[in-house]
Structures are given as C-alpha cells and as structure tokens.
Amino acid sequence: MKYYQYLDIDWQPASEKLKLFLEKRPELVAPGKGAWVMAPREVAKEVPELLTMFKPLNLDILMVGFFITHYRIGSIHTDGTTIPVRINFPVLNCEDTETKYYKVTGESRDQVQANGNGYTQFHPDRCEVVDSFKLTQAVAMRVLEPHQVVSYTDNLPRISCTVAFKQDLSHLLE
C-alpha cells in the first residue's frame, strides 16, 4: 500500500501567511486543546493562497485544519473522519520530524480530544512501522491508516496544515 505521495505544488506562500494567521490566534495552538483543530472560516479570506495553491490539481477545499503537536512523540492513531486522504503541508517546526505508518495487531480505543474531535488510538506495543515520511513539502497522505508524528527536536509546537477536499484523492496513492 502506498501511504503518502509528495506533491509538486506551491505551498510556501500559504504556509508563511498561516504562521501570521496563527500568531494572531494563539488560542488555536494552545496546549490542552487537542492535536487536530479546525481552522476558522476567515482563514480562506486571510490566506487566499489556500484557494489558489490547489487550482493546478483541480481540487475544491472542503475543510482546512491544523495538526498541532506539543510533545515529541505523538500517539499512534487514525483520524476521526471518513475522508481517507488529505493534503498536509508544513507550517511551523516540521523539520526534524517524521510521520510514521504502522501495521497494527490488537485492539484500538476510540478517543475524543478536549476540543471534541475524535480519533482512534493504538497501543505502541502492538504496532510495527511499515513506512514513513518527513513533512518537507506538501504531501497527500492516508489519514485512516495508523500513523504517528515523532519530533526529533525540542522545537515545539510542530504545526502542519491539513486540507480535505470535495474530491476523493485516493487516486494519488495508487
């Protein structure tokens, strides 16, 4: 199975503006809120590059969010969504981090973050790494396969932007 695919799109302008967007809204990245946070509606107006960066792929945005990690080792999880593939790109402190994918044996636990967003968690002792990538550019990634973010640095929080689309992106990972 192909878990991810790097994409050749111009993500840097949106990333830079998203840093400024988040600086004005520290409550979005505060510890204790949860790792996955939905972006407020005004993100499209304040960061119009989000709309234009996906035009070459003929994609229509359904949802924009942020994946924020305040710890060096995140939980092994699947996202609480029915959309199998999203596009993620770096915003802050993504260098020296890795997203690992796992083959899982054993049970899982459904969890709810403090912000109400759900996910499914897996015990590390029952997981085996099968693939990984470094978030150095935009990437289409499977979010319904067990994965985990690991930071090899103390530069935290690590923030990525995650975007879901009206179109199914599974064909990018065939």
For the chain, domain boundaries: 4-173
CA angle 61, 111, 129 (to 5 degrees): 80
Name the CATH topology of 4-173.
Jelly Rolls (2.60.120)
Query: What is the per-residue pLDDT for 106?
Result: 84
Query: What is the per-residue pLDDT for 34?
Result: 82
Q: Which long-range contacts (CB under 8 A, 24 or more apart) does 109-116 make?
A: 111/77, 113/33, 113/34, 113/35, 113/36, 114/32, 114/33, 114/34, 115/33, 115/34, 115/36, 115/37, 116/34
Regions of the chain short of the pLDDT cut 70: none
3-class secondary structure, 168:
coil
CA distance 30 to 47: 21
Query: What is the per-residue pLDDT for 116?
Result: 82
Query: What is the per-residue pLDDT for 68?
Result: 95
Query: What is the per-residue pLDDT for 115?
Result: 81
